[in-house]
Amino acid sequence: MDSVLELRAIRKSFAGFAALDGADFTLRRGEVHALLGENGAGKSSLMNVAAGLYAPDGGRILIGGREQRLGGPREATAQGIGMVHQHFHLVKPFTVAENILLANPRGRFSRGIETIEREIAFCTNMLGFVVDPHRRLDSLSVAEQQRVEIVKVLLGGATIIILDEPTAVLTDEEADGLLTTMRRLAAQGTAVVLVTHKLREVTRYADRVTIMRGGRHVAACDPKTMSTAQLTELTVGVALPSPVREKTARGELRLIVAGLRVEHETGRTALDGVGFQVRAGEIYGIAGVSGNGQSELVGALTGTTAVAAGDIWMSGAGHIADRPPAIRRSGGLAAIPADRYAQALAGGLSITDNYAVAGVMAGRYGPWGWLDRKAMAKAAAAAVRAFDVQGVRGLKQRAGLLSGGNAQKLVLARELAGDPVLIVAHGPSRGLDARACAAVHERLLAARARGNAVVLVSDDLDEVIGLADRIGVMSRGRIVAEFDAPADRQAIGRAMVDHG
Ligand SMILES: Nc1ncnc2c1ncn2[C@@H]1O[C@H](COP(=O)(O)OP(=O)(O)OP(=O)(O)O)[C@@H](O)[C@H]1O
Ligand SMILES: [Mg+2]
């Protein structure tokens, strides 16, 4: 047998809930193997078992045909298993090179930081990425951090590479670059696991696909023999309709951004005179290759990034460019940030607290000290039902334990509650399965139909084109072109790179 990794009948429970219920998985040498399944199906849990992060309650792990007990991630690394996690394991105040050194403390890196910088350059060249080894992690976008994780695993010398939703934060082009590299590594004998929700990637790049549901294996097959409709049905259990964008009347101005400048501490200009307007009942989409100022724009709008010059005016709240986030929120701003764990959820707090916090700040549950906890729990329970947040064993459960997609649904439920003046959404369907993704799109269109103004920043061009009434293309901190719906995909794609 040429199987390099075999997981047999793996079981793993969390507080009595079986996340893995006898899951099987076989990985062969030299293949790209996709792992599909709905949010909460157990994909990350199973791969965390393979990477030595979770100790299974039952089942067997065979590496290269020999049974192994992995005492921890270091033991998995020693067996050649490297994993790029869905939620990154990087140290924020350190530079790229320092992070990579930390992960590979011994061996060939003992020669010092210059060697690592050379290795990083070599590796990113091969991947077709640009990663500056001197940048601090906290100055990088989510997509850029993702690249650092991939470089870290590759330089660690892994022969089994597990990528947990690596392309969720990449553009089509970046994703193609990464997956082409993985195919090349596979041709040289590396085994690659690709956890993804994107069927296009499965049919294009995978030699085999395993589908999971409810903590178990439901099928393994050659994706080239399946249609995407068949794969969706196996994953979700039903066929899905696509959302429709109906004609709505545009209302009054809700947001005016003019001459916006943002500068990094290093003096680099991140936003260079950005201006656009959004009306009630309108979705304004921002397209572009990630890292061109999108994160800074979202930060400037929501109040987490300092503005050097320019104006942001929001209906009902006035000029807010130098106002703190709380003032903006009480003026009717709702935010769905890209990094939901770092910016939108307090992982250590309960689901109820995470949901109700917005209402608490608005005084909806009474004054501090006299909070109506029953009403908070009731509202949270209703939201969990309405947004189909799965994996909730109780409302007191910590929000950090939700699977990636379900955590995002909780954020959406909170931010879309009420009647926001303006919704700023950054990559709102990142990491969501097909069903949840369709639900998010439906929610954003419903907000638009209700007369909310929406700024939708997304690396997923199809998402922007499908939802937005107008699209601004960002490149190097500027909006370089604007398109009205129905927009031409190719023209947008050209604008994204022409100026890049
Ligand atoms: N450390 C943990 N403690 C408690 N529950 C957990 C833990 N890790 C995962 N779970 C639960 O196990 C189930 C499976 O989660 P997992 O993260 O493996 O799903 P997934 O298939 O990766 O989903 P997604 O596509 O949303 O990333 C979920 O219901 C999740 O809430
Ligand atoms: Mg996951």
Q: How far apart are CA 288 and CA 277, in angstroms?
A: 18
pLDDT at 315 > cutoff 70 = yes
**Residue 275: which pLDDT band, with cuts at 50, 70 and 90?**
very high
pLDDT at 203 > cutoff 80 = yes
Nearest to 176 by CA among 207, 204, 144, 141: 204
Query: How close is the Cα of 204 to the center of ligand 1, in Å?
Result: 27
Task: Report which protein residue has its CA nearest ligand 1's atom 16.
Answer: 42
Does 400 reside within a domain?
yes
If asked whether residues 274 and 231 sit together in one domain, one would say: no
CA–chain centroid gap for 165, Å, is 8
For the chain, state the CA radius of gyration.
Answer: 23
Residue 361: the pLDDT is 78
- E strand intervals along 303-397: 309-314, 318-319, 333-336
Q: How far apart are CA 205 and CA 127, in angstroms?
A: 16
| Ligand 1 atom at minimum distance from 37 CA | 21
Q: Which numbered ligand comes closest to the C-alpha of 43?
A: 1
Which of 185-199, 237-251, 348-362, 388-402 is predicted least confidently?
237-251
Residue 43 Cβ < 6 Å to ligand 1: yes
Residue 391: the pLDDT is 85
pLDDT at 314 > cutoff 80 = yes
Residue 470 Cβ < 6 Å to ligand 1: no
Non-local (6+) Cβ contacts of 347 within 8 A are: 341, 398, 399, 400, 401
If asked whether residues 31 and 102 sit together in one domain, one would say: yes
DSSP state of 162: E
Q: How far apart are CA 11 and CA 16, in angstroms?
A: 12
Packing angle of the helix pair 228-236, 434-449 (nearest 10 deg): 90
Residue 235 Cβ < 6 Å to ligand 1: no
Does 242 reside within a domain?
no
Element (H, E) at 491: helix 489-498
Percent of the chain as helix, strand, coil, to the nearest 5:
35, 25, 35
Which of 192, 208, 236 delimits the end of a domain?
236
Does 245 reside within a domain?
no
Residue 14 Cβ < 6 Å to ligand 1: yes
Residue 380: the pLDDT is 94
Residue 375: the pLDDT is 92
DSSP state of 454: E
pLDDT at 5 > cutoff 90 = yes
Which of 100-114, 190-204, 417-431 is predicted least confidently?
100-114
Q: How many CA atoms lie within 13 A of 98 on its CB side?
A: 11
pLDDT at 110 > cutoff 70 = no
Which of 236, 269, 303 delimits the end of a domain?
236
CATH number at residue 403: 3.40.50.300
Which of 184-188, 263-267, 388-392, 446-450 is predicted least confidently?
263-267
If asked whether residues 475 and 333 sit together in one domain, one would say: yes
**396 Ramachandran zone, left/alpha/beta (phi>0; psi -120 to 50):** alpha
If asked whether residues 231 and 257 sit together in one domain, one would say: no
Residue 19 Cβ < 6 Å to ligand 1: yes
pLDDT (tens digit per residue) in 138-178: 888 777 888 888 888 888 889 999 999 888 767 677 788 88
CA–chain centroid gap for 368, Å, is 34
| Whole-number average pLDDT of the chain | 88
Query: How close is the Cα of 146 to the center of ligand 2, in Å?
Result: 15
Percent of the chain with pLDDT over 70: 96
Higher pLDDT, 25 or 463: 25
Residue 105: the pLDDT is 60
pLDDT at 119 > cutoff 90 = no
Question: CA angle 220-223-228, nearest 5°?
Answer: 115
**Residue 1: which pLDDT band, with cuts at 50, 70 and 90?**
low
Residue 411: the pLDDT is 92
Percent of the chain with pLDDT over 90: 49
In angstroms, the Cα distances linking 233 to 44, 198, 229, 478 are 21, 14, 6, 41
If asked whether residues 475 and 371 sit together in one domain, one would say: yes
If asked whether residues 188 and 297 sit together in one domain, one would say: no
Q: How far apart are CA 34 and CA 87, in angstroms?
A: 19
Mean pLDDT, residues 473-481: 94
Which of 236, 264, 297 delimits the end of a domain?
236
If asked whether residues 147 and 23 sit together in one domain, one would say: yes
Query: How close is the Cα of 203 to the center of ligand 2, in Å?
Result: 20
Task: Report which protein residue has its CA nearest ligand 1's atom 17.
Answer: 403
Nearest to 308 by CA among 454, 477, 92: 477
Residue 392 Cβ < 6 Å to ligand 1: no
Mean pLDDT, residues 298-312: 95
Q: How far apart are CA 33 and CA 194, in angstroms?
A: 6
**Residue 417: which pLDDT band, with cuts at 50, 70 and 90?**
confident
What residue type is 11 in one-letter code? Answer: R
Domains contained in the chain, number:
2
Mean pLDDT, residues 72-92: 86
Does 56 reside within a domain?
yes
If asked whether residues 147 and 54 sit together in one domain, one would say: yes
Q: Sign of torsion, CA 459 461 466 471?
A: positive
Q: Which two tokens stand for residue 431?
A: 């990491």
Residue 351: the pLDDT is 94
Query: How many CB atoms within 10 Å of residue 381?
Result: 15
Does 357 reside within a domain?
yes
Query: How many CB atoms within 10 Å of residue 139?
Result: 17
Residue 42 Cβ < 6 Å to ligand 1: yes
Which of 244-253, 350-359, 411-420 is predicted least confidently?
244-253
pLDDT (tens digit per residue) in 323-357: 999 899 989 999 998 877 777 888 889 999 999 88
Q: How far apart are CA 76 and CA 478, in angstroms?
A: 44
pLDDT at 108 > cutoff 60 = no
| Ligand 1 atom at minimum distance from 397 CA | 4
Query: How close is the Cα of 44 to the center of ligand 1, in Å?
Result: 7
In angstroms, the Cα distances linking 282 to 173, 193, 446 are 28, 40, 11
pLDDT at 179 > cutoff 70 = yes
pLDDT at 381 > cutoff 70 = yes
If asked whether residues 306 and 342 sit together in one domain, one would say: yes
Residue 479: the pLDDT is 96
If asked whether residues 46 and 7 sit together in one domain, one would say: yes
Does 243 reside within a domain?
no
DSSP reduced 3-state for 240: coil
Q: How many helices (H) and strands (E) in the chain?
A: 16, 20
> Which of 12, 14, 57, 197 has the most ligand 1 atoms within 8 A of CB, as the residue to mutate?
14
Residue 376: the pLDDT is 93
Residue 238: the pLDDT is 67
pLDDT (tens digit per residue) in 182-202: 998 899 899 999 999 888 899
Does 397 reside within a domain?
yes
If asked whether residues 261 and 356 sit together in one domain, one would say: yes
Query: How close is the Cα of 496 to the center of ligand 2, in Å?
Result: 30
Residue 107: the pLDDT is 56
Residue 102: the pLDDT is 82
Domain hosting residue 118, numbered range: 3-236
Residue 499: the pLDDT is 58
Query: How many CB atoms within 10 Å of residue 436?
Result: 25
Does 220 reside within a domain?
yes
If asked whether residues 77 and 214 sit together in one domain, one would say: yes
Which of 45-59, 365-379, 461-475 is predicted least confidently?
365-379
